[in-house]
Amino acid sequence: MFNPEAIFHRLLYLPLFILALSVHEWAHAWMAHRLGDDTARLQGRLTLNPLAHIDPIGTIVMPVFIGFIGWAKPVPFTPVALSRKVSMRTGIMLVALAGPVSNLIQAFVGAILFGLVAGIAFRASHGGDIGWFDIFQDFAVRFISLNCMLAVFNLIPINPLDGSKVLYGILPRKAGDALIDNEFLTKWGFLILMVIFVAASPVAEVLLWPAEALTHLLFRFGSLIAGLIA
């Protein structure tokens, strides 16, 4: 886990992880702004600049030394500032959902770009070997995989993950309030998930199997685009 080769390998892909997290946090801020809450914008978080979102431990140390599980600085959000265009419960759900949706969009765009570049490259090379293509494909698959993983992980309905707020907006009011107000999960939920993902890999694999399936599907989609072009 801590060998130099693994650390170097993770450092290569770290910019992809930072990009995925930065867009995720920006999406939260954008949705909140669209719904009338300017808290994030006033604190400089309505930006794609990674420097505004990086958490030194969650965005750098954890991904490099443990693996690509981590977090960025949470976007500040004031539900009572939302406009009356939507209910507060719906607003909270939409702001939370914006982050995982942004990761799914990134993964989809990544698959399209992979397909376009691969198709054009093979067409230009007349089917010959392309020296840089294996590296490009590796980064493209990693980018798609990271975003699928972040989307699925954040949709786990355990406070404080986005999935708990999404479920809060769907459940009947009493059940939703009980979920959000659960003090044990609010305090320890994220730590429990970190322990599971670091120390109990079989459980983590079960929780993230939709991310693996989605990554495979999107890669096949990108390959289909490449085949149509080539």
- Catalytic pick from 5, 25, 205, 212? 25
Contact 65, 7 (CB under 8 A): yes
Residue 73: partners with Cβ closer than 8 Å, 6 or more residues away: 25, 45, 52, 53, 54, 55, 58
What are the Cα distances from residue 80, in Å, to 26, 34, 92, 145, 168? 20, 14, 10, 36, 16
From the list 93, 110, 102, 176, the residue with the least C-alpha distance to 144 is: 110
**Look-up of token digits 């991904």:** 63
* 3-state secondary structure at position 72: coil
Question: Catalytic annotation on 5?
Answer: no
Q: Please state, as a whole number, how many other Cβ atoms lie within 10 Å of the Cβ of residue 221.
A: 16
Q: Which two tokens stand for residue 154?
A: 């954040």
Which residues are known to be catalytic? 25
